Chain A
Amino acid sequence: MLSVVNLSFIIHNSSNMNQLVYLIPLLPLIGFLVNGLLRKSLSKSVIAVIGSGVILASFIISLLLFFQVKNSGEQIINYFNLISIDKLVIPFAFQIDQLSSLFLLIITGIGFLIHVYSAAYMHEETNEHYGRYFAYLNLFVFSMLLLVMGANYVIMFFGWEGVGLCSYLLIGFWFKNNNYNYAAKKAFIMNRIGDLGFLLAVFWIIAKIGTVNYTDVFAAASSFSSTDITGITILLFVGAMGKSAQIPLYTWLPDAMAGPTPVSALIHAATMVTAGIYMIARSNILYSLSEITQHLVAIVGLATALFAATIAIKQNDIKKVLAYSTVSQLGYMFLGLGVGAYTGAVFHVMTHAFFKALLFLGAGSVIHAMHHEQDMRKMGGLKKYLPITHITFLVGCIAISGIPPFSGFFSKDEILAAAYEKNSIYWGIGVATAALTAFYMFRLYATTFLGNFRGTNNQAQHLHESPTAMTIPLIVLAALSIIGGFFNVPEVLGGHSSLHQFLSPALTSEIVHKSAHSTEYMLMGISVAIAVIAIIIAINKFSKKPELQETHGFAKVLENKWYVDELYDNIIVKPLNNLGGFFKNIIERKGIDGMVNGVGKLVNYSARQLRLLQNGLVGGYILFMVLAIIVLIYVWINDNHILSFFYKYF
């Protein structure tokens, strides 16, 4: 009771609230340290309570902060100077505004649900690994919070690198499987490529205006030359490509499925991949100044959305389908960013966080029930064994397909409407992608939950609904997936665009679209109709006879992901490997080793030759002595100084 009183007091006292801000990232960090250091001595339940508890506490503070921001606007809290060299001062500061407070809610809220779910999902692990898992999970959330809360690009970069590291640690969580380690390395390296772009952009900004604080950079943005602004935004976008899995750096995300399923949910919904979206939304003032970059962002987003959706159609691994759907949905968000619908993109981040977390956790529940079987072809008919998972998963599928009034519809519609205004081709491809999305999601749904069970008898006997700790997050997320869209009902449907209004101080470059109501109705109608048709086709096609046979022709190309991995392997990995081999065998072995060993050999050889002079014959020694004296006398006579001989000749 006391704590409730305290909290209500805090709400009314904003200065106190500010003192709590640093706790939001600090608590997960403490959780990381405690769970990480004491993982061998704590029991599993204690680990789970600490791990989830710190995130819950962060969530509560974030919630309070959210309402404070809603009432009294943004604020920047300076703690200390991180770097102070000459005129360059980089403070350690948090910027709490509409955008970051919304992200804080998504990260800690979804993060908390995933932690709770993980507590049950990971119960088979030993104590030590259980603690390690929760420590990494907390560190992941910490990094993401740092990324979102930072008031300048450098703090953001810390978080940016932190999530990259944590994704590596978590994807390779089961490190005894070497394939998982490769997947982890792939994720890390792909991310590093993008991070280089981000880093260069930060350097460029520092070189240009000598500060990295958002407020200063955005204030100075209008004075940048067009080359500067385009260069900076494109480099930042390269960073976003890596982190948010866009063409050409998307291949790590599907491979990231090697990690435990809740980790996939965390990466795909709450942390990591939304970082790119956040960064561009945060830099919306910069992006709006560069027409070229905006087009680039929109086109890359659209291409990724379509490309990933085509791959998702033919995947048989339940998590792979979801992974490609994430890539595709991220493409959508970038389309939104590219056409200036920043709110739409952020809104889609939010709704996507709900339903993608739901879908992943649902998939985790299925995998859990199937004893770690991930191949959809060996599932089927799970509807009656896993009722709660089934219902919630269905909700997720409907939401991602964009059927009103589920959340996905509203966010997708907003992006599509903005795309239509910019260019109707964007819209056309967007709708086609939406149809593909609906199709592959319901292919997944029908293959997994409908029809007959196709697994082994052993699996059939052990099919069971997941424990409460796993189903409750599913139910909460399902509820959010249903109602999530109502936070931002567009005017045309009688709403107030609440999210739009809330975010407008942070997203000043938002392009407000003003299509006629009739056009908007038409756009909505078409996209919903196409999605419904796709759903009906998918259910009819796959519930009775799922695709079990080998694929041929074009389908095989899709199943093999357009052979992009092989392409990268051939044009980048192998040449680099060969170059590395060349340097190793020729330059290193022959050249450098040869030089070093050569010096040794020379000394060795000459020593062996000179050794012969010491032959033990006294006469020989005297001869050398006499010769040496003659030389010395000669030198002495000529120069009168013995060292000048050396000065002269050496």
Chain B
Amino acid sequence: MPIQYYIVLALVLFCIGIIGVLIRRNAIIIFMCIELMLNAANLLLVAFSKMHNAAATATNSNVGIEGQLFVFFIMVVAAAEVSIGLAIIVMMFRNVHSIDVNFLNRLKN
């Protein structure tokens, strides 16, 4: 499959993520949209890694999988992020009985 398909898919996922973050007010949805953006990036990394791998292994068999390794790091960071983020959301719900981010406005004052 040509690389363009992966790029377009990643772009679409990323844009859905951004738009979701911007227009939704539910903290869980926003959270999921952030994950969507991260995974769009992961998808690109894997796709490009696979694409370059074929050319790179011809000269040196030890190269060509850094992109895929990187994805694991991102997944780990995302997992850590999720745990903190969900904790915040839980605390938020306990305090204001809502997970609407606009309730966070009251931090302003």
Contact = CB atoms under 8 A, between A and B. Distances in A.
Nearest to B23: A619
Nearest to B18: A626
B62 interface: no
A616 B22 contact: no
Given A617-B102, A618-B101, A623 B22 contact: yes
B101 A619 contact: yes
Contacts of B21: 619, 622
Interface string B21-32: 111010000000
B104 interface: yes
Interface string B93-109: 00000000110110110
A636 to B, nearest CB: 17
Interface in B11-57: 18, 21-23, 25
The binding surface of chain B is classed by DSSP as helix
Contacts of B25: 619
B93 to A, nearest CB: 17
A626 B107 CA distance: 23
A390 to B, nearest CB: 95
A626 B104 CA distance: 20
Interface string A320-332: 0000000000000
A622 B105 contact: no
Contact of A622 (B22, B102, B104, B107): B22
A617 B18 contact: no
Contacts, number: 19
A617 B105 contact: yes
B101 A616 contact: no
Contacts of A616: 105, 107-108
B107 A619 contact: no
A617 B105 CA distance: 6
Contacts of B104: 618
Interface residues of B, number: 11
Contacts of A618: 101-102, 104
Nearest to B109: A616
Nearest to A616: B108
Contacts of A626: 18, 22
Nearest to A629: B18
A525 B21 CA distance: 120
A619 B101 CA distance: 9
Contacts of B102: 617-619
A42 B107 CA distance: 76
A617 B25 CA distance: 11
Nearest to A626: B18
Contacts of A619: 21-23, 25, 101-102
A623 B105 CA distance: 16
Interface string A605-628: 000000000001111001100100
A626 B22 CA distance: 9
A632 to B, nearest CB: 15
A622 to B, nearest CB: 6
Contacts of A617: 102, 105
Contacts of B22: 619, 622-623, 626
Nearest to A623: B22
A289 to B, nearest CB: 88
Nearest to B107: A616
Nearest to B104: A618
A578 B21 CA distance: 68
Nearest to B24: A619
Interface string A99-125: 000000000000000000000000000
A622 B108 CA distance: 16
A626 B101 CA distance: 18
A616 B108 CA distance: 6
A119 to B, nearest CB: 81
A2 B36 CA distance: 116
A333 B22 CA distance: 98
A616 B107 CA distance: 8
Contacts of B18: 626
Interface in B49-93: none
Interface string A372-384: 0000000000000
Contacts of B107: 616
B25 to A, nearest CB: 8
Contacts of B23: 619
19 contacts: A616-B105, A616-B107, A616-B108, A617-B102, A617-B105, A618-B101, A618-B102, A618-B104, A619-B21, A619-B22, A619-B23, A619-B25, A619-B101, A619-B102, A622-B21, A622-B22, A623-B22, A626-B18, A626-B22
Given A616-B105, A617-B102, 17 more contacts: A616-B107, A616-B108, A617-B105, A618-B101, A618-B102, A618-B104, A619-B21, A619-B22, A619-B23, A619-B25, A619-B101, A619-B102, A622-B21, A622-B22, A623-B22, A626-B18, A626-B22
Q: Which 10 pairs of residues, A with B, have the shortest CB-CB distance?
A: A616-B108, A616-B105, A618-B101, A623-B22, A619-B22, A622-B21, A626-B18, A622-B22, A618-B104, A617-B105
